[in-house]
Amino acid sequence: MRSTQIRTTFTDFFTSRGHQQVPSSPLIPDDPTLLLANAGMNQFKPYFLGETTPPFPRATSIQKCARTSDIDNVGRTNRHATFFEMMGNFSFGDYFKEDAIAFAWELLTKGYGLEKDKLWITVFEDDDESEHLWRRIGVPASRIQRLGMEDNYWSMGVPGPCGPCSEVNYDRGPAFGKEGGPAIDGERYVEIWNLVFMQFQRGEGDKKGNFPILGELARKGVDTGLGLDRLAAILQDAQNVCTTDLLLPTFDSVQDLAGRACPAEGEEKVSFQVVTEHARSIAFLIADGVLPAKDGRGYILRRLMRRAIRHARCLGIDGPVLPATTASVIGNLSDVWPELTGQAALIEQVVTAEEESFTRTLAQGTRLLDAAITHTREKRSAALPGETAFELADTYGFPLELTVEAAREAGLTVDEERFAALLDGQKKRAKAGGKAKTAEALRKMDTYRELAARLPRTEFLGYEHLSAEATVTGLMSGGTVVPSAGAGAEVELVLDRSPFYAEAGGQIGDTGTLTTTDGTVLRITDTRYGLEGFRVHFAFVLEGELTTGATGEAQVDAERRAGLVRSHSATHILHAVVMATLGDHARQQGSLVEPDRLRFDFAHFTALTPDQLHHIEQAVNGHVLDDPKVTAWHADRAEAEAAGAIALFGEKYGERVRIVDIGDFSRELCGGTHVAHGSQVGTFSLLSESSIGSNLRRVEALTGHSALRHLDTERRLLGELASLLGTRPTEAPGALRKRLEALAAAQETLSRLRAEELRHQAGQLATQAQPVGQGQLVVRLVTGIAPDELRGLVADTLARLGRGPVVVVLGAEHKGKALLASAISSGLHQAGTQASRILAEAARTVGGGSGGRGPLASAGGRHPEALNQALEIAAYEATRLLSNG
Ligand code: SER
């Protein structure tokens, strides 16, 4: 089965079972606790935690994931990867273990046609319920194994959701290793699908990985992940993920570059596979906006690139390896992931630049490394000194793992302890006196000051132009002025004139490119004020060598800027409408203006009602449709204030100020960029309103394309709802109300019938009472009963047996658990007996405990199969009580 069909089979299966199909989130997550998206559930974390109401109770996605925790295994095993597509189904407070297990089993055995007896299951150590469910579905006990925290528990973020897992593994047969099931680690039993039963909220953990549970989740649910690579390997009978159709063209491109086929075994095979696998991660990371850097996610990308390059050199590929291999990834996967084509030029530029710069350091570093290896051997030592590894890392940017790998290939180890000590020492030194970052930051500020004093002020052209001829007047790297910077360098630039808007007044900075006349290409990643009035362009050299004095074409990303101006003008209109609606006190206290999205904070003392929000949204859209002219003019500050311009508290403006008017209803001091006419804002759609402090409210809204997409999603959801209800969207609320009423009536009837049934059952149980001593005893196993019903039933049965000494004990199985309840007559209770005494031993037998004082007691346990035995024990206790009594 081709991977395209594997994907559609998955999506079709879950959408036809009521799951909303959700696109993959980008690899850069919208979550500060996470560097890169590493699981399908990332984007749903707020739903599990109850921070946001999920717009649907179940979802399915195919998520792009990047993980480097197993990077050392890549190429060495058949199954590990640093990038993969994870297919998942999710429930937010909807279904739980039973359905999740049934779905997985049906899809694997029927949808994908996997042989049942090749599937092995693992469950969390104390999760009897899951084991019970798998056995009920037909998996024999011999193919179910229990694993602990390390393997079968998942958590994300702190605080974050967590819960036990159950995993499905596929037995690839004796050619892949020895027998024994997934509990023995290895190649034979491949973990393909992880079902996580999200149940708790976790707190901060210790170094050993233990963490406290803070409580139950607002929405208990399900998070699963089925690895596309691994399933494809099985369904395509490929030995390795590199030989599935997901990676084969890339694997071939590496073989082409090496001029030979990958051998069946050995270190060369590892290198072929590392280059293949990493090329895919690299292409996807860059496509989602990651650029190589010294730290953070940029460092992860840099490490992957450097590792791939080094392995390519081991294969004798001396020329560029990343451009061709990433191009093959784009060619092979862009049908499914169009962002690869969209960013193809950027990918090529970034990998080429990084490869050029790393090739230079690699040559120097390799010489150092080779010398160190020879020297170590001559000394007959088994370990490369930690100092060498540190120097390689510190000066040449060789990640420790690369050094360890190179040493391993030479039959040596690395003194990692010494390395860690050196690194630690460096960190401590850096920390001492709060220096390092501060020192760099201070140095940078000094540099800014020096440049600002020396250079003429940048002429800002961005109100009228998105591109302009500009000259680089200042160039910085690592906090100091440099004369030039080569491909792969991160730099900060000052230009004599610039169309790039620097972040201010809530509007974030522009991005774009700078192409100099001598062919140097830069990606401008942000624009900010280094000092007041001093504009700095943050950039990454993609191609060539940039020197101070170079001249070229500065070009702002036009589409992104169009989104920014829409949001900025919408913010002004919103401000005017909020004040007109709520009063003059409701002034802006802060804002964030992003492309097609805005956040607006204002003073107000209570939450806005739905009517007020509706009115505000309508009024903003009304103004937009009136198409007011947007004009900017300059004046003295006093003049502007006299003209009624709103100046925002805390923002600094010089004596000459810029005023932006929208129609005749909005006048603000503002340096931002705006639409020329109100209608260019497009659609305005309010998303949310919340409190962010005392007397401070926040609204978030979408404009332009984002607003349209949002409305479209809502329309589709309503359409789906209507079609489920078998009616038109306009009739849906009425139809749903009717159904809910009918349901409530049915539930009432049902509970009345159920109560009657239980009364009848109590009557029957009472007739089965046995005389014991002076009293009567009922001990019975009952079926199909819920916990609270069982308590009612014992009490009711007792009540029917009249005045004398009576004991009633009932047991039942409910959702894989044992339930017990007992009641004793009031005479026995007044004489000093507690009903829980009858259950104490019986409860232990079913693996639980009983407690409480009073004439009524209940207990539960994990072993329903021991219920009969437990009832016998309870009968014995009751008989003793009645005979003595
Ligand atoms: N979050 C789990 C995992 O990544 C299941 O999707 O394995």
Give pLDDT tens digits for 464-506.
999 999 999 999 998 889 999 999 899 999 999 999 999 988 9
Is the per-residue pLDDT at 851 higher than 90?
no
Question: Rounded distance, CA 414 to CA 373, Å?
Answer: 10
Sign of CA dihedral 376, 382, 384, 386: negative
pLDDT band at 638 (very low <50, low <70, confident <90, very high): confident
Q: What is the mean pLDDT of the chain?
A: 91
- Give the pLDDT confidence score for residue 434 in this predicted structure: 52
Q: What is the pLDDT of residue 655?
A: 67
Kind plus residue range of the DSSP H or E element containing 307: helix 296-314
Q: What is the mean pLDDT of residues 20-28?
A: 92
- Which of 224, 226, 230, 231 most suits a substitution to test ligand 1, by most atoms within 8 Å of the C-beta? 224
List strand residue ranges (DSSP E) for 401-506, in order: 413-414, 459-460, 467-477, 480-481, 484-486, 490-495, 497-498
Instruction: Give dist(CA 685, CA 570) in Å, integer.
Output: 10
pLDDT grade, residue 694 (50/70/90)?
low
Query: Residue 431: what pLDDT?
Result: 64
pLDDT value at 706 more than 60: yes
Q: What is the CA radius of gyration of the chain?
A: 34
Calculate how far, in angstroms, residue 165's C-alpha sits from the geometric centre of ligand 1.
Answer: 9
Nearest to 850 by CA among 823, 813, 880: 823
Quote the tokens at residue 709. Answer: 């997409």
* Cα separation values, 857 from 262, 823, 825, 836, Å: 70, 6, 12, 5
What is the DSSP secondary-structure string of 140-200? -GGGEEEE-HHHHEEE-SSSEEEEEEEEEEEE--GGG--SS-TTS-SSSEEEEEEEEEEEE
Write the burial class of residue 208 (CB in 10 Å: 0-12 exposed, 13-18 middle, 19+ buried).
exposed
Q: Are 101 and 195 in contact (CB under 8 A)?
A: yes
- Find the 126 Cα to ligand 1 centroid distance in Å: 20
| Pair of tokens at residue 102 | 């049934």
- Peptide bond between residue 595 and the one before it cis (omega within 30 degrees of 0): no
Kindly state if the Cβ of 223 falls inside 6 Å of ligand 1: yes
Instruction: Say what percent of the chain tops pLDDT 70.
Output: 97
Residues 862-881: pLDDT tens digits? 999 999 999 999 999 999 99
pLDDT at 30 over 80: no
User: Is 225 touching ligand 1 by the criterion CB < 6 Å?
Assistant: yes
Question: How does DSSP classify residue 110?
Answer: I
Of 271, 240, 256, which Cα lies nearest the Cα of 324?
256
Closest ligand 1 atom, CA of 41?
1
Tokens of 335: 């049908």
Q: Which of 133, 487, 496, 515 is nearest to 322 (CA)?
A: 487
Q: What is the dihedral of CA 162, 164, 170, 176, to 10 degrees?
A: 90
Q: In this structure, are strands 806-814 and 775-781 parallel, antiparallel, or unpaired?
A: parallel
Superfamily of domain 3-241: Bira Bifunctional Protein; Domain 2 (3.30.930.10)
Q: Which range, 239-248, 433-442, 529-538, has the best average confidence (pLDDT)?
A: 239-248
Strands (E), 694-790: 696-703, 770-772, 775-781
Q: State whether residue 766 is helix, strand or coil.
A: helix
What local confidence, expressed as pLDDT, does residue 653 receive? 46
Query: Rounded CA gap, 809 and 821, in Å?
Result: 6
For 715-736, give the secondary structure using H, E and C.
HHHHHHHHHHHCCCHHHHHHHH
Please check whether residue 705 is in contact with residue 711, taking contact to mean a CB–CB distance below 8 angstroms. Answer: no
Give 651's pLDDT tier (boundaries 50, 70, 90): very low
What angle do the packed helices 787-799 and 732-767 form, to 10 degrees?
Answer: 40
CA-wise closest residue to 79 among 233, 283, 199, 208? 233
Euclidean distance between CA atoms 269 and 455, whole angstroms: 55
Rounded distance from Cα 44 to ligand 1 centre (Å) = 12
Distance from the CA of 605 to the center of ligand 1, in angstroms?
42
> Measured from the CA of 225, which atom of ligand 1 is nearest?
6
Q: Which amino acid does the sequence have at 697?
A: R
pLDDT recorded at residue 438: 61
- Asked whether residue 670 is marked as a ligand-binding residue, the answer is yes
E-strand stretches of 234-342: none
- Looking at domain 561-712, its CATH superfamily turns out to be Threonyl-trna Synthetase; Chain A, domain 2 (3.30.980.10)
Alpha carbon of 230 to ligand 1 centroid (Å): 14
Report residue 795 CA to chain centroid gap: 49
How many Å apart are CA 848 and CA 859, to the nearest integer? 7
CA distance 523 to 515: 9
Give the pairing of strands 383-384 and 413-414.
parallel
Q: How many residues comprise the chain?
A: 885
**46 or 522: which carries more pLDDT confidence?**
522
Mean pLDDT of the 90-116 span: 96
Tokens of 531: 């000092």
Residue 37 has pLDDT above 70, yes or no: yes
Domain boundaries, given as residue ranges, for the chain: 3-241, 247-414, 450-556, 561-712, 766-884
Ligand 1, atom 1: nearest CA belongs to which residue? Answer: 39
Q: Which of 24, 69, 91, 154 to mutate to test the pocket of ligand 1 (most atoms within 8 A of CB)?
A: 154
Six-digit token string for 349: 């530029």
- CA-CA-CA-CA dihedral for 633, 637, 642, 643, to nearest 10: 10
In this structure, the dihedral spanned by the alpha carbons of residues 354, 355, 356 and 360, taken in order and rounded to 10 degrees, is 100
CA 733, 734, 735, 736 dihedral sign is positive
Helix, coil or strand: residue 833 = coil
Q: What is the pLDDT of residue 425?
A: 82
Q: Which ligand 1 atom minimizes the distance to the CA of 196?
A: 5
Show Cβ contacts of residue 442 under 8 Å, excluding neighbours closer than 6 positions. Answer: none
Asked whether residue 652 carries a pLDDT value surpassing 70, the answer given is no
Q: What is the separation, in whole angstroms, between the first and last Cα of the chain?
A: 74
Residue 259: predicted pLDDT: 95
Alpha carbon of 402 to ligand 1 centroid (Å):
28
CA torsion 576-581-583-584 (nearest 10°) is 0
Looking up tokens 């630049």, which residue turns up? Answer: 353
Ligand 1 and 194: CB distance under 6 A:
yes
Q: What is the pLDDT of residue 647?
A: 67
Q: Summarize the confidence of residues 63-79 as an average pLDDT.
A: 92
- Say whether 710 counts as a known binding-site residue: no
Look at phi and psi of residue 495 and say left if phi exceeds 0, alpha if psi is from -120 to 50, else beta.
beta
Dihedral angle, C-alpha 3, 8, 10, 16, nearest 10 °: -170
* Nearest residue to 191 (alpha-carbon basis) of 34, 329, 332, 84: 84
d(CA 558, CA 513): 11
Determine whether the shortest distance from the Cβ of 154 to ligand 1 is under 6 A. yes
Report the pLDDT value the prediction gives residue 150, as an integer from 0 to 100: 86
pLDDT grade for 650, boundaries at 50, 70 and 90:
very low
Most confident of 446-460, 479-493, 611-625: 611-625
Q: Is domain 450-556 in CATH 2.40.30.130, yes or no?
A: yes
Q: Which residues of 220-258 are buried (b: 16+ CB within 10 A; e: fewer)?
A: bbbbbbbbbbbbbbbbbebebbbbbbbbbbbbbbbbebb
Compute CA 681 distance to the chain's CA centroid, rounded to the nearest angstrom: 31
User: Three-class SS string for 371-399?
Assistant: HHHHHHHHCCCCEECHHHHHHHHHHHCCC
Nearest CA among 566, 564, 559 for reference residue 620 = 566
Q: Name the most confidently modeled range: 231-235, 444-448, 608-612.
A: 231-235
3-state secondary structure of 469: strand
Task: Enter the tokens of residue 8.
Answer: 């559609």
Is 863 labelled as part of a ligand binding site?
no
| Cα 884 to ligand 1 centroid, rounded to whole Å | 58
| Domain 766-884 class, CATH top level | alpha beta
* Cβ atoms within 10 Å, residue 419: 22
The 3-state secondary structure of 261-279 reads: CCCCCCHHHHHHHHHHHHH
Q: Hunting for tokens 């808007």 — which residue is that?
A: 501
- Say if ligand 1 is within 6 A of residue 41 CB: yes
In this prediction, residues 328-347 reach a mean pLDDT of 93
* E strand or H helix at 625: helix 610-626
Residue spans of beta strands (DSSP E) within 597-679: 597-603, 630-636, 656-662, 666-669
- What pTM was computed for the model? 0.60
Q: Are 153 and 171 in contact (CB under 8 A)?
A: no
**Token pair of 257, please?**
């570059």
Quote the CA–CA distance of 420 and 408 in Å, as a whole number: 18
| Burial degree of 602 (CB within 10 A; 0-12, 13-18, 19+) | buried
Question: pLDDT value at position 646?
Answer: 75
At 641, is the pLDDT very low, low, confident or very high (cuts 50, 70, 90)? confident
pLDDT at 149 > cutoff 50: yes
* Cα separation, 245 vs 333, whole angstroms: 10
- The per-residue pLDDT for 433 is 46
Lowest mean pLDDT among 143-152, 252-261, 362-371: 362-371
Q: pLDDT: is 694 or 160 the higher one?
A: 160
| Minimum mean pLDDT range among 368-377, 429-438, 852-861 | 429-438
- How many Å separate Cα 347 from the centre of its chain? 24
Give the distance (Å) from ligand 1 centre to CA of residue 226.
8
d(CA 146, CA 319): 50
